[in-house]
Amino acid sequence: MQRIEKRAEPSELTQWRIKFRNDPNFGYGLLCGKEAHAAVLRSLLAEQGGICAYTGIAIRDKVGTRMATAHIEHIFPQKHCSPAESVSYDNLLACYPGPNAPASNFGATFKKDWPSAEERMHFVSPVTQGCEERFRFNKRGEISAARADDQAAKQTILRLGLDS
């Protein structure tokens, strides 16, 4: 897993949040389809160097097209977040596959609603300092925890299907 250094959120998201903060439907669902949503995805792809935050798959798409191969992923799932957390730039990543693509047996769609608030300590996030040092790859590209006692790395591999 490559570490992602979060940058400042795009101004479109900041302005959207100000405009809709008092809306009774405030949250990620209200953001979807808006220009701010596309701006967030463009910004995430730029800060991630065009790769999926979890799998490292290259994302070669034109944001906003039907051919998109990435979607906005919540580090901590919407199911376990407040509406404000669901639109917090610090909680968002760009991940493979694109919207409306079939679920895969690895990565963001495999992760589903994990981790819950109680399980966050068992998740190694790509925005966590030192995350890249917690995993090892062998010559066949297989992944494992760098340390045998790192249960969070093992659980992350399992829950993201990174060993599939």
Structure confidence at residue 103 (pLDDT)? 81
- Please, are residues 27 and 33 in contact by the beta-carbon 8 Å criterion? no
Cα torsion through 17, 77, 75, 26, rounded to 10: 0
The mean per-residue pLDDT over the stretch 42-62 comes to 88
Q: Helix 35-47 crosses helix 11-20 at what angle (to 10 degrees)?
A: 140
Partners of residue 95 on adjacent β-strands:
71
Structure confidence at residue 118 (pLDDT)? 95
Structure confidence at residue 59 (pLDDT)? 86
Contacts of 75 (CB under 8 A, 6+ apart): 91, 92, 93, 125, 127
Q: How confident is the model at residue 65 (pLDDT cuts 50, 70, 90)?
A: low
Structure pTM? Answer: 0.90
State pLDDT tens for residues 119-156. 999 999 999 999 999 999 999 989 999 999 999 999 99
Asked if pLDDT for residue 30 goes beyond 70, the answer is: yes
Structure confidence at residue 151 (pLDDT)? 98
Asked if pLDDT for residue 84 goes beyond 60, the answer is: yes
* pLDDT above 90: percentage of residues in the chain: 84
How long a stretch of residues is the chain?
164
* pLDDT above 70: percentage of residues in the chain: 95
